[in-house]
Amino acid sequence: MMANTVEAEGQLTPDEQKRLTSDMHRSLRRKKFRALFLVAPLLIFIMVTFVSPIASMLFRSIDNPQVSEYMPNTTAALADWDGDKNELPNEATYAALVKDLVEGRKNHTIGKAATRLNYEKSQMRSLIVGTARKAARLKPPYKEQLIKIKKGWGDIDNWRVIKRESKPYTASYYIAAFDMETTPDGEIKMLPENQRVYLQMLWRTVWMSVLITVLTLVLGYPVSYLLASLPMRIANTLMILVLLPFWTSLLVRTSSWIALLQGQGVINDILVWFGLVNDESRLSMIYNATGTVIAMTHILLPFMILPLYSVMKTIPPSYMRAARSLGATPYTAFIKVYLPQSVPGISAGAILVFILAIGYYITPALVGGQTGQFIGNMIAYHMQSSLNWGLAAALGVVLLALVLGIYAIYSRLFGGNNQMTLR
Amino acid sequence: MENSASSEAFVRFEGVQKSYDGKVLVVKDLNIDVPRGEFLTMLGPSGSGKTTSLMMLAGFETATHGNIYLDGRSINNVAPHKRGIGMVFQNYALFPHMTVAENLAFPLKVRNMGKSDIEDRVKKALDMVELGSFGDRRPAQLSGGQQQRVAVARALVFEPDLILMDEPLGALDKNLREQMQYEIKHIHERLGVTVVYVTHDQSEALTMSNRIAVFNDGIIQQLAPPTELYEKPTNSFVAQFIGENNKLTGTLQSTQDGICTVRLPTGEQVTALDINTDAIGKESTLSLRPERVFLDPVEGQCDNVFTGKVEEVIYLGDHKRVRMNVCGHDEFIVKVPNATDNKGLQVGGTAPIGWSSKDCRALDAI
C-alpha cells in the first residue's frame, strides 16, 4: 500500500501533482463543510449554554465596576490623590464623595458600592451607608462634618481602599480565594490561620475526591471483571443492576443514605442490636466527611464500572489462558497480562470519577455536614447566600484550573498511549 | 508411526465426559491414547467437542467424568500452569503490551530462569521461526503469519513435551495457511514434541497428522492415520466429512465373505465391501470416491457398470468434475483426468460408468 503511493507520486509531473493537490483540497473542503454543518446545532448550543457562561464567569472574577460606576465623582477626585503620602484627600474629594452619596442614595445604588468595599475592609458598608443617610442635609465645606458624622472618613486606610477598588479590574477576589488579603498598605499576605477557609476546603475536596476515586476503583474493578467474563445474557442482566442507580433520582439516593447512616438509622440500629456498638456511642456516619465519601462513592460507582467494563470486554479470555498455559500462576497472569491491558479502562474511569467528584455539590450539601463540604458548596454559598459573585467566580476559576491541570497530567500519562489497547 | 510401538501412552483420555449445563453431553465417552512424539489431530465440525477436549487437556475446562493422564499421571486436579503444556491459540493470544521478545521471555521469567539463559533461549526460538530481527516489535506490528510464528515459538520456548494447538491457522489466508502447515509439521519432526492439534479443516489434518481423530456429536467417529481415514472410512459420517464422496443409499440384499449386495431404490444391484452394515433388509449407505469411478470402463475392469447422464461439466484444469445422474441420484460426481481423448462429455449425453466393488464401501445408513 505504502509502496504503491510512493510509486504513483514518483510518476506524476509537477503540473499533475499540483492539480491533484488542489483536487484533494476541494474534495476535502466539501467534506469539512459537511462535517461543520452536522455539528453546527450542537456547537451553537454549547457556545450559548456552556462556553459563554464560562467566559462570563472568568470575566466576573476580575470585573470590578461597582465603585467606579456608583461613585464616579469620588473615583475621579481620588485619581490625583497619592495614598502613600499619609495625608487625607482634599476638600474637593470630600465634596465629590457627598455628591456620590446623595445621588447613590436617591438611585438606590450606593449600597452596591458599599457592599463591594465591605469585602475588602469590614465596617466600610456601615461607614458609607450610614453617611449617605445624612449626606443630603450637609452644606460645604464637607471634610470636617463628614469626619464628625463618621470617624472613618478621617482614616487614611479607608480612602486607600476606596482608591484601590475604584479601578475597573481587580485581583482581590483571587486574593481572597487563596485565603490572602491586601493590607491597606497594598501588601498581599496570608490571612491569620483561624480565618483561612478556601485553601483548606480545596485541599479537602481534592483528597476526598482521590479517596472516592480509589474506593470506586477498588469496588468497581472486580465487578467489571465479573461482568466482562460472564456470558452476554447474564452480564446484561447484571449490568441493569449497575445502571439502576442512574434511573433513580440523585436526591432519592442521597436521602436513602441519610436513612441508612444517621444516628438512629438502619445501620446503627443493626450494630446496636447485635451489640457491636453501645447505644450511647452510635457511629456518626453522616453529616460529616464519612457520609460524603460513602454516598458519593455509591453515586459515582457506575462511572467507574462502565469504562472498565467496556475495556475489559475487549480483552479476550485467551490472553489469561495463554499466560496460564505458559506457566504463570493466576496471580502472575493477572498482574502481568490482564492488569496492564485494563489500564486504559482504569485511567478513563478514574479521571471521569475524579473530575465529577471534585465539582460535586448536591451530595456534600445534603450529607456533608461541617466536615464533608466541598469547594462546590462554597461556590454555591457565595452565589446564593452571600451574593459575592466575584469570589464565587474566582473560586470556580481556581477549580477549573485545577481540573484542567489534572487532565493535562492525565493525557500526558495515558493519552496517545494507544499501544496499550492495540492488538 | 515408529513411536506407536512405545508401550506407555503419553496422553491418555479415559472415559472422559463433559457437560456444560448438566443436561447435554458435549463430549461423550472419550478414549484416546497419544504416544510420545505423535502429531494427533482432532478434526470435526464446530460443536463436535474437539475444542472442549483440548481445553480439558490444557486444564481450562474440567472433565465432568473420567480421567486424563499425562505421562502416566492423572492431571484432573492439576492447575493449568502446573501442567507444563505449550499452547497455541486461535487468535495467537500474543500479549499486546509486550514486545515479541518479552512475549517469548514470559514463560521463562515465570519459571525464574536466569537473565542470560532467557536471552539465549529467546534468540534461539526467534531464529527457529526465522524472526531473529523482530524481537523488539510489538505483536500488532507483525503480519498474521509472523504473529502465528511467534505464537508457535512462545509455546515451544520453555521446551514442553506436549504442544496443543487450537485452530492456529484459522485466521490466515489460504496460501499462508498451507505454508504454515509445512512449517509446523517440520518443527514437529525436528523437535519430536507431541502435538495435539484441533482443526475443522480436513486438508490441514491430512497434511500434518500422524493420526486423525474425527469428532462428531461428542464421539470419536474414527481414529486412524490420514490415508486409512480417506481410503477406508468405517462409517458414513467419516466418508462424507473427509474428501469428496459419492453416496448411494439402498437396502442390503445379501452379504458373503465381506462382499455384499445392495439394492438401490431404482432397482439396480451394487456389489460393495461390507464394512459397517446392519442386518439384511436394512438400509445401508454406499460410499465411493469420485476418482475411483471410471468413464467408459474396459470390459472386466469394473464389476459395477451403469449408465450415467451428464448433468454438468466443470473444467478444473488438470481434471474435469462431471456431475452425473446415476441410478436416479443426480449428485453423482466423477473426476475425469484431463486427457486429449475425452471429448464425448456433453451435458445431456450419456456415458457408461463403472467402479470396482473393492472401491465401494457399504456403511451405516444415514
Cα A307 → chain centroid? 23
Q: Which three cell numbers stand for residue A231?
A: 456470558
Any CB–CB contact under 8 A between B168 and chain A?
A: no
On chain A, the residues whose CB falls within 8 A of the CB of B155 are: 325-326
Domain definitions of chain A by residue range: 66-170, 198-420
pLDDT tier at B6 (50, 70, 90 boundaries)?
A: very low
Determine how many CB atoms are found less than 10 A away from the CB of residue B316: 9
Computed from CA positions of residues A80, A81, A82, A87, in that sequence, does the dihedral angle turn out positive or negative? positive
Any CB–CB contact under 8 A between B140 and chain A?
A: yes
Any CB–CB contact under 8 A between B107 and chain A?
A: yes
Q: What is the CA radius of gyration of chain B?
A: 25
For B259, list phi and psi in degrees, rounded to 5: -115, 135
pLDDT tier at B2 (50, 70, 90 boundaries)?
A: very low
pLDDT at residue B116, rounded to an integer:
93
- The three-class DSSP label of residue A342 is helix
Cβ of A333 within 8 Å of Cβ of B81? The answer is: yes
pLDDT at residue A184, rounded to an integer:
76
Considering only CB atoms, B81 lies closest to which of A316, A327, A421, namely A327
The nearest CA of chain B is from the CA of A350 a distance in Å of 21
Q: Quick one: chain A helix, strand, coil %, rounded to 5?
A: 75, 0, 25
The CB-based long-range contact list for B117-123 (8 Å cut-off, 24+ gap) reads B121/B157, B122/B157
Q: Report d(CA A35, CA A293) in Å as an integer.
A: 43
Give A246-305 pLDDT, tens digit per residue: 888 888 888 899 999 988 889 999 999 998 888 888 888 889 999 999 999 999 999 999
pLDDT tier at A5 (50, 70, 90 boundaries)?
A: very low
**Residue ranges of the alpha helices (H) in B129-201?**
144-156, 174-191
Q: Within 13 Å of residue B67, how many CA atoms lie on the same side as its CB?
A: 10
Any CB–CB contact under 8 A between B81 and chain A?
A: yes
- For β-strands B39-43 and B329-337, DSSP reports them as unpaired
Give B44-97 pLDDT, tens digit per residue: 998 899 999 999 999 999 999 999 999 989 999 999 999 999 999 988 899 999
Cβ of B84 within 8 Å of Cβ of A327? The answer is: yes
- What 8-state DSSP symbol labels residue A169? B
On chain B, the residues whose CB falls within 8 A of the CB of A311 are: none
Q: Report d(CA A393, CA A177) in Å as an integer.
A: 10
Would you say residue B5 has pLDDT above 50?
Answer: no
Q: According to CATH, what is the number of the domain B244-363?
A: 2.40.50.100
pLDDT at residue B209, rounded to an integer:
94
CATH 3.40.50.10540 fits A198-420, yes or no: no
- Which of A325, A332, A418 is the best residue to mutate to test the B interface, defined by the most B CB atoms within 10 Å of its own CB? A325
Mean pLDDT of chain A: 88
Give A39-54 pLDDT, tens digit per residue: 999 999 999 999 999 9
Any CB–CB contact under 8 A between A322 and chain B?
A: yes
Would you say residue A6 has pLDDT above 60?
Answer: no
- The three-class DSSP label of residue B199 is strand
pLDDT at residue B341, rounded to an integer:
66
What's the whole-number mean pLDDT along residues B157-177?
Answer: 89
Q: Report d(CA B251, CA B235) in Å as an integer.
A: 16
Cβ of A325 within 8 Å of Cβ of B87? The answer is: yes
Cβ of B97 within 8 Å of Cβ of A341? The answer is: yes
Give, in degrees to the nearest 5, the angle at Cα A103 between A99 and A106.
145
Would you say residue A173 has pLDDT above 50?
Answer: yes
Residue type, A99: K
- For β-strands B39-43 and B211-216, DSSP reports them as parallel
pLDDT at residue B170, rounded to an integer:
83
- Which of A324, A326, A339 is the best residue to mutate to test the B interface, defined by the most B CB atoms within 10 Å of its own CB? A326
State the burial class of residue A119 (Cβ atoms within 10 Å of its Cβ: 0-12, 13-18, 19+): buried
Q: Is the ipTM of this complex over 0.85?
A: no
Find which of A214-223, A272-281, B165-174 is predicted with most confidence, using mean pLDDT: A214-223
pLDDT at residue A401, rounded to an integer:
93
- Report the range of poorest mean pLDDT among A13-17, A334-338, B118-122: A13-17
pLDDT over 90 percentage in chain A: 50
- The topology (CATH level 3) of B3-236 is Rossmann fold (3.40.50)
What's the whole-number mean pLDDT along residues A1-10?
Answer: 47
Any CB–CB contact under 8 A between A333 and chain B?
A: yes
pLDDT at residue B277, rounded to an integer:
87
The B162-166 sheet, strands edge to edge: B85-88, B162-166, B194-199, B39-43, B211-216, B219-224
The nearest CA of chain B is from the CA of A304 a distance in Å of 23
- The three-class DSSP label of residue B295 is strand
pLDDT over 70 percentage in chain A: 96
Residue with cell string 489497547: A421
Q: How many CB pairs under 8 A join A and B?
A: 81
For A187-247, what is the HEC assignment? CEEECCHHHCCHHHHHHHHHHHHHHHHHHHHHHHHHHHHHHHHCCHHHHHHHHHHHHHHHH
Determine how many CB atoms are found less than 10 A away from the CB of residue A241: 10
Put simply, whether the predicted model's pTM sits higher than 0.80 gets the answer: no
Give A99-123 pLDDT, tens digit per residue: 999 999 999 999 999 999 998 888 8
Any CB–CB contact under 8 A between B114 and chain A?
A: no
Query: What is the secondary structure of B73-133 as a DSSP string?
Result: EE-TTS-GGGS-EEEE-TT----TTS-HHHHHHHHHHTTT--HHHHHHHHHHHHHHTT-GG
Determine how many CB atoms are found less than 10 A away from the CB of residue B282: 11
pLDDT tier at A1 (50, 70, 90 boundaries)?
A: very low
Q: Which three cell numbers stand for residue B342?
A: 475425452
Give A174-207 pLDDT, tens digit per residue: 999 999 988 877 788 898 888 888 999 999 999 9
Domain definitions of chain B by residue range: 3-236, 244-363
